[in-house]
Amino acid sequence: MNKTILNTLFFISLGFISGQAQHNSERYSAFRPGDIWKDTDGTHINAHGGGLYFEDGIYYWYGEHKGDDSKAHVGINVYSSRDLYNWIKEGVALSVENDSNSEITAGSVMERPKVIYNKKTGKYVLWFHLELKDQGYSAARTGVAVSDTPTGPFKYIRSYRPNAGKWPLNFKEEWKTIPKGGDPEEWWTPQWHKALNEGMFVRRDFKEGQMSRDMSVYVDQDGTAYHIHSSEENQTLHISELTEDYLGFTGKWVRVQPGGQNEAPAVFEKDGTYYMITSGLTGWDPNPARSFKASSLMGPWKALGNPARGVDADKTFHSQSTFILPVQGKENAFIFMADRWKPENHIDGRYIWLPIEWEDDEPVIMWEDEWRLSFFDKQ
């Protein structure tokens, strides 16, 4: 066969392959919460506990790659989309490392990745909840990685127990020392609850740094970034200011809802008011969401109750919050993003994206079997 015939055959087969791919993938024009959601290659999107970042007409969706268990065997995936319905798999933004001494070695836990862009340094900064390999959830750390491009590859820098050696801004002077007789050891007693409210775990972790499990990051209008995380044995949320380069903690931080057991924090802002949606603390099982509002990221945060309405509101429609996305080019259009976890086969986890609606200036979430971005035009 001469070269021209070979080339022709090659291009015909390429056309066939891409035609097949096109055929296998579905083109979406609506959200169908809870359904299998395929990427443009026809594979169920694998980006759990995710967060979105928008730039130049493109949304980037970062999320945990999951196999059948909940550990990180691949790393953090990234997808891109121009319309929020159809997602192209861009690859692995932050890969697990093969070195068994690495904190992000395969088999560690890497959850809830969130990416923000630092205008001053020109770097994309990825934060995620990190648990060290074979240590269950005891390490309670937050990890940070950077990249020059939104799709990565991101380079892992380090992990933290936040705010080592720093007291919260909203902490009484007398709470800084262990009370006479010591802190209670038995959990869930009235004395234990009181000691928790009065900073028992903050004191315990003062030197080493505070625990950080479920987390999110948020950039305020003035460019200051904040790290929001479940701390104090998941009993209390902490909100901490990040350094100018977004790679560390300034040591300015507050406790939110001591003893409130909030997980899965997701923050957004509308008309100068900050809102936060969280979940309760029931592992992979769903529970009623909670919502809060504040006039400053550092609080005080006012509890507004469960924002979900209707059937299955008490289970947040069988999902747990992960991010709230302001839709570009639309006013007051926010998407509540949540995970419907499938702990028996994590890769089958589903995505619940629902529009945020408003009742007396408070965010509410109602179930939709199918909806489109035009939903926001009707409001």
Give the SS3 label for residue 105. strand
Q: Which residues pair with 337 in a beta bridge?
A: 323, 353
Q: For the chain, how many helices (H) and strands (E)?
A: 3, 21
Q: What's the DSSP call for residue 28?
A: P
Query: Is the Cβ–Cβ distance between 75 and 41 less than 8 Å?
Result: no
Which residue of the chain is nearest ligand DGJ when measured via CB? 283
Up-side HSE of residue 233: CA atoms within 13 Å toward CB?
13
Provide the minimum distance between the beta carbon of 232 and ligand DGJ in the complex, in angstroms, as a whole number: 16
Both structure tokens of 352: 């619940």
In the complex with ligand DGJ, the residue whose CB is nearer, 217 or 298, is 217
In the complex with ligand DGJ, the residue whose CB is nearer, 123 or 213, is 213
Q: Which of residues 76-135 bind ligand DGJ (CB under 6 A)?
A: 111-112
Residue 75 near ligand DGJ by CB under 6 A? no
Provide the minimum distance between the beta carbon of 283 and ligand DGJ in the complex, in angstroms, as a whole number: 4
In the complex with ligand DGJ, the residue whose CB is nearer, 130 or 195, is 130
In the complex with ligand DGJ, the residue whose CB is nearer, 113 or 307, is 113
Provide the minimum distance between the beta carbon of 52 and ligand DGJ in the complex, in angstroms, as a whole number: 17
Q: Which of residues 273-312 bind ligand DGJ (CB under 6 A)?
A: 283-284
Provide the minimum distance between the beta carbon of 95 and ligand DGJ in the complex, in angstroms, as a whole number: 20
Provide the minimum distance between the beta carbon of 128 and ligand DGJ in the complex, in angstroms, as a whole number: 10
99 vs 235: CA distance, rounded Å? 34
Q: Which long-range contacts (CB under 8 A, 24 or more apart) does 203-208 make?
A: 203/175, 203/176, 203/177, 203/178, 205/161, 205/232, 206/164, 206/165, 206/167, 207/164, 207/165, 208/161, 208/164
Provide the minimum distance between the beta carbon of 366 and ligand DGJ in the complex, in angstroms, as a whole number: 22
In the complex with ligand DGJ, the residue whose CB is nearer, 147 or 320, is 320
268 vs 35: CA distance, rounded Å? 26
58 vs 106: CA distance, rounded Å? 30
Provide the minimum distance between the beta carbon of 229 and ligand DGJ in the complex, in angstroms, as a whole number: 11
Q: Which residues pair with 61 in a beta bridge?
A: 52, 79
In the complex with ligand DGJ, the residue whose CB is nearer, 298 or 337, is 337
Please pick, from the candidates 231, 260, 320, 373, the single residue that binds ligand DGJ as defined by CB under 6 A: 320
* Binding-site string for ligand DGJ from residue 55 to residue 74, where x marks contact by CB under 6 A and - marks none: --------------------
User: Any residues with CB less than 8 A from the CB of 34 and at least 6 apart, and which?
Assistant: 317, 318, 340, 350, 351, 352
Q: Which of residues 206-245 bind ligand DGJ (CB under 6 A)?
A: 214
In the complex with ligand DGJ, the residue whose CB is nearer, 103 or 263, is 263
Report residue 372 CA to chain centroid gap.
Answer: 23
In the complex with ligand DGJ, the residue whose CB is nearer, 49 or 51, is 49
Q: How many residues of this chain interact with ligand DGJ, rule: CB under 6 A?
A: 9
50 vs 352: CA distance, rounded Å? 11
Query: Is the Cβ–Cβ distance between 167 and 202 less than 8 Å?
Result: yes
Provide the minimum distance between the beta carbon of 235 and ligand DGJ in the complex, in angstroms, as a whole number: 14
In the complex with ligand DGJ, the residue whose CB is nearer, 203 or 229, is 229
Residues lying near ligand DGJ in the complex (CB under 6 A) are found at 49, 111-112, 214, 263-264, 283-284, 320
